[in-house]
Chain A
Amino acid sequence: MSGIKLRVWGEYACFTRPEMKVERVSYDVMTPSAARGILEAVYWKPSIRWVVDRIHVMKPIRFDNVRRNEVSAKLPVGSVKTAMKGGGEPLRLFIEDNRQQRAALLLRDVEYVIEAHFEYTSPEDRNDGKHLDMFNRRAGKGQCFHRPYLGCREFAAFFEPVEGDVPASPLALEAPRDLGWMLYDLDYRNDMAPLFFRPALERGVVEVARALEREGVAS
C-alpha cells in the first residue's frame, strides 16, 4: 500500500501524557493517535483507516510553561439527552462557576513529517488511487474537514504534503532516546482500555510501525 507524507507545524503543541493531564505535561514528540487525528481532519471516510508508520521530528524539542484558565466540569450526558428531547433546562456550562487554573508544560515551535498509509475497513470502496489522490489534493489545497491541531484544539496545525524524500531531521546526530511507554490508542471494544507501546527516537525519527512490531501493542 503506498503511503502519504504530510508536513505539519505550529507554534505550540501539547501531546498530553495521560498521567499528567491535570497539570498537563506533554510527551516529547507527537503521538501516533495525534498524528492520525490530523490525517483524519484532512481526509477520512468510513471505508478507510489511517495507520501511522513513522513520525519525523523536524525541530529541536523545546518546552515552555503556560498557565491557562480551563473549566473543571463536563456537561453531564443526562442533561444532553434531556436537551435533545427538548425538555429540561437549557444546555450550558458557566465558565465563571467552573474555573480551574491549570499549568501546562508544552512544546514550543514544532514541526513533524507524518508518514502513514491507510487500510480498508470493509470490502466496499476499495480504490487506492482515489483515496490517495483525494488526500494529496485536499492537503495541497489546504482543505480540511475541521482544523487539524497539535494535541490540543487551541494549538492549530499548519500542513502541506511532502513531495519526494523527507529531509534529514536536525536531531539526526543525537543519541537514540527512549521515549518510555507511550499511549498508542484506546481499545474501544474492550471497555476503552488504553493501549501503550514503547517507541524510541532514533536519528530524529519515531518508527511507529517498527516499535509496534518489536513490542506489540500492549493493553
Chain B
Amino acid sequence: MILQALNDYYARLLAAPKKDVPEFGFGRQGVHFCLILDRSGALAGRPMDLRDEKGRPSRIEVPGPVGRSVGIRSNFAWDNTGYVLGADDKGKPERTAETHAAFKALAAGVLDGVDDKGARALLAFLDDWDPARASELPGWENMVGLNVVFMLDGEPGFLHDRSAFRKAWLERLSDNDEFATGRCLVTGEIGPIPPTHAKIKGVPGAQMAGASLISFNFDAAKSYGKEQNLNSPVSEQAAFAYTTALNHLLAPDSPRKVQVGETTVVFWADGPGEAEPLFGFGMGGRKTEDDALAARLERYLTDMAKGKYPDELGEASTPFYVLGLSPNAARLSVRFWHVGTVGEMAENLGRHFRALALQRRFDSDPEHPSPWRLLKELAPQRDAKNMSPLLFGQFVRSIVQGLPYPQTLLSSAIGRIRADKEVNYLRAAVIKAFLVRNRKQEIPMTLDTTNTDIGYRLGRLFAIVERIQEEAVPGANATVRDRFFASAAATPARTFPIIMKNAQHGLAKIRKDKPGWAVTLDKAIQEIVGGIDAATGFPASMPSEKQGMFILGYYQQRQDFYTKKEKNTED
C-alpha cells in the first residue's frame, strides 16, 4: 500500500493549482548556464549565468534526467558541456566526442520532423557547432563541465519548455520499447517495467547519491531467475510517481518530514487543513519560522491533550499517512507504515501528550516534548548517535497508533537514571507516560499524597531524606542521591535502614537551627512510613515497574518542595 499511497499522492500534487512536482518524463535539476540561440541557430550574445550569488545552480524542470553510471546516455535538449558542446575538462577527448555525438543523435531523433522554430534553431546549431570553438565562449572557464540549457533569443522561457519540445519528448517516451512489459503491481495496468527506479534522496545516513526503496542488489533477493525490478513489476509511470512523491516529501525544506536519529519520518494528509504542520510540530520536525503558526500549533496540542479536536485540522475522516524510513547502505528500509485518519492522529497525539503530562521543573522545559527530545534523554551522554533506532521506530509507532509503548522504554529510562543519577522532567515524564499507558496507573501531574503504591512512597521518602541531607550538610561531596539512589530503588530493604539512620542525624542537626522545619520534615516521614504496610516493611527488591513509581514519587515530592519554597518567598 505504500507505493499506491505515494502514487495517489503524486497525482494529487500534480492536480494542485500551485504544483511543485514535475510531470512524468521531467525532473528538477541544477542548471548553471543558458546558451542563447537566434533563429538561424547561431549563438546570440554571452551565455546567461543562472547561478545565484553563492554560485549555486538554479533548480529547473528539465526533460529526464537520465540515470547515469558509467555508460553514455544523453539528456534531451540540456546536459553538461561535454554532452552539449563536446568540450569539457575531463581530459578524455575521445569519450567527450562520443558524448557529444550521443547528444546530437538524441536531439535529432526526438525533434525529427517537429515543426517549430526552436527545434530548427537547436538542430541548426548542433549541425554547425565545432567543439573546438567552445573555449572561445565568453566565460568558458566558469562554465566548463557544468549543466547548460538553451533559450531562443527574444522568446520567453527555455527551449526545452516549449510545448513542441515537451510533446516530442513525451512521444519519444511512449515509443520506448527498451523495457519488458508486464502487469504493474501499483496500478494493475500493463505497461513497460523499467529495470531500475530513480533514487530516493534526503534520507540522512544513506548514500549521497540517494538510495533505493525498491532494489534487488544481491542474489538472495532475487526469485525465479528474474533480474532487478522485474522481481516486482512496477510500471514506468508508477515508478516515476512514487519516487517523485517520496523525493518531494523528503526535500530539504519539506515541512512533512521529521528526522530522528537514523530514522526519517514523512507524513501527509489526503486533504486540506493544518494537520501536516501540526504533526511535524508535535513530533519535533523543522521549527516553523512563522510565529503565529507556531502559537496556533501549540494551542492545537494543548487542545488535543484535553481531548478536544481543533477544527483547523480539517475533516477528521481525511486519511493520514505516516512512513518511517531508515537507511541500510544503498537501500532504504521501512521502519513503520501507518494509515489512519486526521481525527485518529489528533486523538492519538493527544492521548500521548496526556500520558506524558507532568509538572515541569523549569519554565524552559517543553510542555509538549517531541519523541526525539525524550529519546535523546535516554541515550548515553545524551548523544543522538547513541539513540536506539529500533526503539525510536517502536516509540513513534506506539504514539501514532495509540498502542502501548515499547517495553524497553521503561528499562532504558531506569537504566539511564541508575547510571547518572539524574531525575529530570523529561525522564520522569517518559516513565509516567509508560506507567499510565502500559500499566494503567493513575498518576496525576503533581504530588499525590494519597498514593499508597510502595514504590511511589519510597520514592517520596527518598526525596525527603535527600532534602534533610541538603539542609543538614550543605555542599556535601557525595550526596545521598549519588551514593544510594540506584540501590534504594532496586533493593529498598538493604538501603533504607542505612539512609534513614543518617537522616535522623541530619534531622537532629536541623532541629538546632530550625526546630519548626525539622518537625515538618519528621511529620512527612512519619506520614509516608505510616502508609507502608508494616507486615511487609521495606521490600527486598523491586521490579522495574515499581522502580518507575519510585522515580516518579521522588520527582514529584522533590518538585513539591520547590513549589512550596516559591510560595514561601512570595509571602
Residues of B within 8 A of A103 (CB): 326, 328, 333-335
Q: Is the CB of A219 within 8 A of B331?
A: no
Q: Is the CB of A74 within 8 A of B331?
A: no
Q: Complex Cα distance A99/B335, Å? A: 21
Chain A, 1-28, CB within 8 A of any chain B CB: 17-23, 25, 28
User: What is the minimal beta-carbon distance from A93 to any residue of chain B, in angstroms?
Assistant: 10
Residues of B within 8 A of A153 (CB): none
> Known: A65-B394, A105-B334. Is A18-B185 also a contact (CB below 8 A)?
yes
Residues of A within 8 A of B332 (CB): 23
Residues of A within 8 A of B187 (CB): 181
A82, CB-defined interface residue at 8 Å: no
Residues of B within 8 A of A28 (CB): 1
Q: Complex Cα distance A78/B219, Å? A: 15
Q: Is the CB of B224 within 8 A of A72?
A: no
Partner of A105, one of B220, B233, B337: B337
Q: Is the CB of B397 within 8 A of A63?
A: yes
B125, CB-defined interface residue at 8 Å: no
Which of A115-123, A127-135, A136-144, A188-196 interfaces with chain B?
A188-196
Residues of B within 8 A of A194 (CB): 182-183, 185, 233
Q: Is the CB of A22 within 8 A of B188?
A: no
Q: Complex Cα distance A6/B394, Å? A: 32
Q: Which residue of A lies closest to B216 (CB)?
A: A22
B530, CB-defined interface residue at 8 Å: no
Q: Is the CB of B232 within 8 A of A196?
A: no
User: What is the minimal beta-carbon distance from A88 to any residue of chain B, in angstroms?
Assistant: 19
B543, CB-defined interface residue at 8 Å: no
Q: Which residue of A lies closest to B339 (CB)?
A: A177
B381, CB-defined interface residue at 8 Å: no
Partner of B214, one of A20, A183, A198: A20
Q: Which residue of A lies closest to B394 (CB)?
A: A65
> Known: A18-B185, A67-B390. Is A72-B219 also a contact (CB below 8 A)?
yes
How big is the A interface, by class? Answer: 35 or more
> Known: A103-B326, A196-B185. Is A22-B215 also a contact (CB below 8 A)?
yes
A83, CB-defined interface residue at 8 Å: no
User: What is the minimal beta-carbon distance from B198 to any residue of chain A, in angstroms?
Assistant: 15
Residues of B within 8 A of A219 (CB): 183
Q: Is the CB of A65 within 8 A of B335?
A: yes
Q: Complex Cα distance A74/B216, Å? A: 13
User: What is the minimal beta-carbon distance from B32 to any residue of chain A, in angstroms?
Assistant: 36
Partner of A23, one of B4, B225, B331, B403: B331
Q: Complex Cα distance A22/B332, Å? A: 9
Q: Is the CB of B188 within 8 A of A181?
A: yes
Partner of B188, one of A63, A71, A192, A218: A218
User: What is the minimal beta-carbon distance from A115 to any residue of chain B, in angstroms?
Assistant: 24
B362, CB-defined interface residue at 8 Å: no
What are 27 A-to-B residue pairs whose CB atoms are below 8 Å? A18-B185, A18-B223, A20-B232, A21-B221, A21-B223, A22-B215, A23-B332, A23-B334, A65-B336, A70-B220, A71-B220, A72-B220, A73-B218, A98-B220, A101-B328, A105-B337, A180-B4, A180-B186, A181-B4, A181-B183, A181-B186, A181-B187, A193-B182, A194-B183, A198-B188, A218-B183, A218-B188
Question: Which 8 residue pairs are nearest across A and B when measured between Cβ atoms?
Answer: A23-B333, A19-B232, A103-B333, A72-B218, A18-B232, A192-B224, A22-B221, A181-B185
Q: Chain B residues in contact with chain A, CB under 8 A? A: 1-4, 182-188, 213-226, 231-234, 326, 328, 331-337, 390, 393-394, 397, 403
Given pairs A17-B232, A25-B334, A63-B336, 15 additional interface contacts (CB within 8 A): A18-B223, A21-B223, A21-B232, A22-B221, A25-B2, A25-B337, A65-B336, A102-B333, A103-B334, A179-B1, A180-B186, A192-B224, A192-B225, A218-B183, A218-B188
Q: Chain A residues in contact with chain B, CB under 8 A? A: 17-23, 25, 28, 62-65, 67, 70-74, 98, 100-103, 105, 179-181, 183, 186, 192-194, 196, 198, 215, 218-219
